Amino acid sequence: MPSREGAWAIYEPFETKDGQQIFVGLTSDRQWRRFCEHFGRQDLLQNPAYRTNEDRVRERPALKPIVAAIGGAA
């Protein structure tokens, strides 16, 4: 897969609390919705700043640590 800087807000490995790596790729609005629902993060779904992929790309600096914290809890 070619490197696509900025195409998706979340498309990278994250470290889990036990030191393992997990790759998270959220490339569509549907995947974002399923991710949030699976982890019980309705607050993220309801946040207008994260409504579309373009919104999430714009908010990547704030969103990436949130996703990392969710993965760290896995």
Burial class for 66, CB neighbours closer than 10 Å (0-12, 13-18, 19+): middle
Residue 5 lies in a domain: no
Domain count, the chain: 1
pLDDT in the model for residue 6? 74
Residue 2 lies in a domain: no
User: What is the number of residues in the chain?
Assistant: 74
Q: What CATH number did the domain enclosing 39 receive?
A: 3.30.1540.10
pLDDT band at 2 (very low <50, low <70, confident <90, very high): very low
Residue 52 lies in a domain: yes
Token pair listed for 49: 């700043």
Residue 63: which domain range? 10-72
Burial class for 71, CB neighbours closer than 10 Å (0-12, 13-18, 19+): buried
Q: Which of 15, 10, 45 is nearest to 25 (CA)?
A: 10
User: What confidence tens digit (pLDDT) does each residue in 6-59 have?
Assistant: 789 999 999 888 889 999 999 999 999 999 999 999 999 999 999 999 999 999
